[in-house]
C-alpha cells in the first residue's frame, strides 16, 4: 500500500517540475510539448488512483486533441514569447498567499485513501450496490455517466456544440487584415 | 510520520500546481501562455478530485464476481470525465480567440494590444469622428 502512495508522490513531483519548467520557458513549441507531457503524467496518476476511465480520456483528449489544437494554432502565431515589461510582483504575491491558505486548510483534509472519509459515506455505496440491478453493466462509471446522470452528459454535448459554433464564428474570414498594423484597417474594425 | 506526510503530500503539490496555473493566467502577458495556464489549472483540479475518490486497497469501480472487493468512489470519476471534455472545448474557444486577436492586432502580447487600443482611442479624440458617434448613441 505504501508503495502505491510512493509512486503517486513521485509522479506528482514530476508534474511539479514540468510546471516549473513551463514558467521558465519562453519558446512556444517547448510550451506545447511540456503541456502534453503534463497531461500524460496526469493520466498515469489517474491510473494509480484507480480512475481508469478518466485516465484514458485524459490521455486521448487532454494529451492528444489539446496538443493537436495547440500545434495547429501555433502555426499562425509568433514563435517566441516576449519578456514582460511590467512587474510580476503582485501576481506572485497573490498566488503565494492563496497557495499558503490552501495548504493551511489541507491539514483538515482526510488522508488519501481513508475509507472513513465523508466522500465515501453518503451516496457512493448506493450507486455501487444498485448499478448492477438498475443498469446491468459492470462499469459503474459508465452507468452513472450515461444513465443516472444522462441529462448531464446531454448538457455536456450542448456545451461542446456551442463551443464549436463559436469557434467557427470567430475564425470566419471577414476582413483581409492579416498582420497589418496600418491605421485605416483598424478604423474599419472600430466602425464595424 | 512518513506515512502521514505522504498522505497529504499529493494535496500540497496539487495546490502548488494550481497556483502555478493561476500565476500563468494572471502574471504572464502572452495570451497563448494564459491558455496553457488555464489547462494546467484544470488538470490539477482534476487530480484533486480523483485523489479524494481513492480508497486504500481499492480497485477501479468495475464490478467483479467476488463479494468482498472494495471499489474506489466512482462519482468523482464521472464528474471529471465531463470536465475533461468541457476543458478541451474551452481550450479550442480560447485558441480561436487568440488567432483572431493575432490577425487583428498582429501581436498576442497583452501590452502591445492595449497600447494599440490606447493609440486608437487618442486618435479618435483628436479627429473627433468616432468620439461624436459614441456620444450620439
Interface with chain A: mutation pick from B27, B107, B115, highest number of A CBs within 10 Å: B27
Q: Look at A77 and B62 and tell me if their CB atoms are within 8 Å.
A: no
Question: What is the dihedral angle through the alpha carbons of A63, A8, A34, B92, rounded to the nearest 10 degrees?
Answer: 40
> Does the distance separating the beta carbons of A70 and B76 come in below 8 Å?
no
What was the pLDDT predicted at B109? 87
- Residues of B within 8 A of A156 (CB-CB) are 82, 85-86
Between helices B110-127 and A183-191, what is the axis angle to 10°?
Answer: 80
H-only helix segments in A25-173: 28-48, 52-57, 66-74, 89-105, 124-134, 140-143, 150-171
Domain locations along chain A:
1-79, 127-175
User: Angle B74-105/B31-53 helices, nearest 10 degrees?
Assistant: 180
Residue with cell 487568440: B98
The yes-or-no verdict on residue B102 having pLDDT over 60 is yes
Residue A113: beta bridge partners? B55
- Kindly determine whether residue B36 and residue A22, on different chains, have CB atoms separated by under 8 Å: yes
pTM of the model: 0.85
Indicate whether A188 pLDDT > 60: no
B111 vs A: CB within 8 A: yes
* Backbone phi, psi, residue A144, to 5°: -70, -45
| Topology (CATH level 3) of domain B2-106 | Helix Hairpins (1.10.287)
C-alpha cell of residue B89: 472545448
pLDDT attached to residue B132: 54
Interface of A with B in 132-151 (CB under 8 A): 132, 138-141, 144-145, 149
For residue A166, what are the CA distances in angstroms to A65, A119, B38, B95? 18, 37, 19, 11
Scan for cell 467483479, then name that residue. B64
For chain A positions 108-127, those within 8 Å of chain B (CB to CB) are: 109, 111-115, 117, 119-120, 123-124, 127
Q: What is the pLDDT of residue A191?
A: 45
Binary contact (A57, B72; C-beta < 8 A): no
CB contact (8 A) between residue A57 and residue B81:
yes
Percent of chain B that is helix, strand, coil (3-state, to 5):
80, 5, 20
pLDDT of residue B57: 82
Whether the CB of B62 is below 8 Å from some CB of chain A: the reply is yes
Q: What pLDDT does A189 receive?
A: 47
* Set of chain A residues whose Cβ sits within 8 Å of the Cβ of B95: 69-70, 73
DSSP summary character for residue A111: P
Regarding an ipTM greater than 0.90, the answer is: no
Establish how many alpha carbons lie within 13 A of residue B105's alpha carbon, considering only the half-sphere containing its beta carbon: 23
Where exactly does CATH 1.10.287.3510 map onto chain B? 2-106
Which residues contact residue A26 at a Cβ distance below 8 angstroms, ignoring those fewer than 6 apart? A80, A81, A83
How does pLDDT run across B45-76, given as a tens digit for each residue? 999 999 988 888 888 888 888 777 888 888 99
Amino acid at each position: 500500500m505504501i508503495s502505491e502512495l510512493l509512486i503517486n508522490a513521485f509522479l506528482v513531483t514530476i508534474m511539479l517540475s514540468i510546471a516549473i519548467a513551463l514558467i521558465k520557458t519562453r519558446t512556444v513549441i517547448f510550451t506545447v510539448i511540456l503541456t502534453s507531457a503534463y497531461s500524460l503524467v496526469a493520466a498515469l496518476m489517474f491510473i494509480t488512483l484507480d480512475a481508469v476511465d478518466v485516465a484514458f480520456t485524459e490521455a486521448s483528449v487532454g494529451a492528444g486533441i489539446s496538443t493537436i489544437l495547440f500545434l495547429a494554432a501555433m502555426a499562425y502565431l509568433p514563435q517566441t514569447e516576449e519578456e514582460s515589461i511590467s512587474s510580476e510582483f503582485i501576481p506572485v504575491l497573490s498566488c503565494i498567499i492563496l497557495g499558503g491558505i490552501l495548504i493551511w486548510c489541507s491539514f483538515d483534509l482526510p488522508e488519501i485513501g481513508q475509507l472513513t472519509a465523508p466522500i465515501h459515506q453518503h451516496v457512493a455505496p448506493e450507486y455501487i450496490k444498485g448499478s448492477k440491478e438498475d443498469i446491468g453493466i459492470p462499469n459503474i462509471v459508465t452507468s452513472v455517466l450515461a444513465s443516472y446522470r444522462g441529462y448531464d452528459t446531454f448538457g455536456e454535448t450542448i456545451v461542446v456544440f456551442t463551443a464549436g459554433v463559436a469557434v467557427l464564428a470567430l475564425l470566419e474570414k471577414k476582413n483581409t487584415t492579416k498582420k497589418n498594423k496600418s491605421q485605416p484597417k483598424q478604423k474599419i474594425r472600430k466602425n464595424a | 510520520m512518513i506515512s502521514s506526510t505522504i498522505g497529504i503530500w499529493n494535496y500540497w503539490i496539487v495546490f502548488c500546481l494550481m497556483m502555478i496555473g493561476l500565476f500563468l493566467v494572471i502574471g504572464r502577458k502572452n495570451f497563448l501562455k494564459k491558455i496553457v495556464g488555464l489547462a494546467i489549472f484544470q488538470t490539477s483540479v482534476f487530480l484533486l478530485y480523483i485523489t479524494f475518490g481513492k480508497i486504500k486497497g481499492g480497485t477501479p469501480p468495475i464490478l467483479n464476481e467476488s463479494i468482498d472487493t472494495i471499489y474506489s468512489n466512482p462519482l468523482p470519476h464521472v464528474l471529471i470525465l465531463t470536465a475533461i471534455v468541457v476543458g478541451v472545448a474551452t481550450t479550442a474557444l480560447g485558441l480561436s480567440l487568440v488567432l483572431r486577436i493575432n490577425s487583428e492586432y498582429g501581436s498576442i502580447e497583452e501590452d502591445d494590444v492595449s497600447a494599440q487600443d490606447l493609440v486608437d482611442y487618442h486618435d479618435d479624440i483628436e479627429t473627433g469622428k468616432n468620439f461624436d458617434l459614441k456620444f450620439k448613441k
